[in-house]
Amino acid sequence: MAALINERPAVPISVLPAGTENLFARHFRLGRSPERLAATIDLGRHIAIDLGDTLHRRFALMAGIGFDAAVVNRHHTARLARDGVANPTNRIAYVESVLDQSMRYPFPRLTVTVEEAPSGKVEVLSGTSIFVFNLPRYALGLPFAPSARADDGLLDLLVFDKPGPFNALRYLWLVLRGLHMRRHGVHHRLIRRVAVTASDPTPAQLDGDPGGFVTADAESPMRIAVAPSALKVIV
């Protein structure tokens, strides 16, 4: 799917779920039956959804910068370690990467400049983990951005302030209980474009795949913007 939305964005798409989480397919209720999917495609009904755009790659679900991206990068490297080919994975395989990064990840400071928002307000936020959601889906059904919509011309920005594995677990517990939006140190904004820099090189992930690194270079921040109605999905 990533190749299609980046290389052939004008082509309407559908998905036959075959991966571990299948968040995109689950959101649009696309089941595992090839016959049902073929019938859906034959009907040809589609809707237009927004995409997130980093100016280099687009994403349909979400972008993450910080600890969760470090876990994604570690897991991706482990999958390719043997022969350079991505081997099959499962949810349990992520546990090793989570534990590894809990001990190693340094939680560098991230600065987020909200350059475009519905309010018109330019704002600077600081934290150690950043998420930008287009759809309200994350692995294991975690409700990070439950109000995110794919067709509103906006992205949901979440910034978690405090560093360290203890705080990462605390934030995860708050997300599980749906309490994080009301806690001090968690910032939620609706945005059209943001620019992100980091005190030290910090990994990013786009739709669960490695997405490069954010650096301290204020002249070349990682910019994330919404691309309204950029993709047609057959539903």
Count of structural domains within the chain: 2
Domain carrying residue 30? 2-49
Q: Which of 55, 35, 39, 45 is nearest to 12 (CA)?
A: 45
Per-residue pLDDT tens for 81-120?
Answer: 555 555 556 566 667 777 778 889 999 999 999 999 998 9
Residue 39 shares a structural domain with residue 121: no
Q: Does residue 95 fall inside a structural domain? A: no
d(CA 146, CA 23): 14
Residue 122 shares a structural domain with residue 45: no
CA contacts within 13 A on the Cβ side of 189: 24
pLDDT of residue 81: 59
**Helix (H) or strand (E) segment spanning residue 24:** helix 23-27
pLDDT of residue 89: 60
CB 81 within 8 A of CB 156: no
Low-confidence ranges of the chain (pLDDT < 50): none
d(CA 64, CA 210): 10
pLDDT of residue 17: 84
d(CA 39, CA 30): 11
pLDDT of residue 74: 87
Residue 126 shares a structural domain with residue 217: yes
Q: Does residue 81 fall inside a structural domain? A: no
Give backbone dihedrals phi and psi of 99, rounded to 5 degrees, phi first: -65, -40
Q: Does residue 76 fall inside a structural domain? A: no
d(CA 194, CA 118): 12
Q: Does residue 44 fall inside a structural domain? A: yes
Domain holding 186: CATH number?
A: 2.60.200.40
d(CA 64, CA 23): 15
Q: Does residue 120 fall inside a structural domain? A: yes
| CA distance to 15, 66, 142, 156, 168, per residue, from 162 (Å) | 37, 12, 19, 20, 8
Enter the pTM of the model. Answer: 0.90
Residue 113 shares a structural domain with residue 219: yes
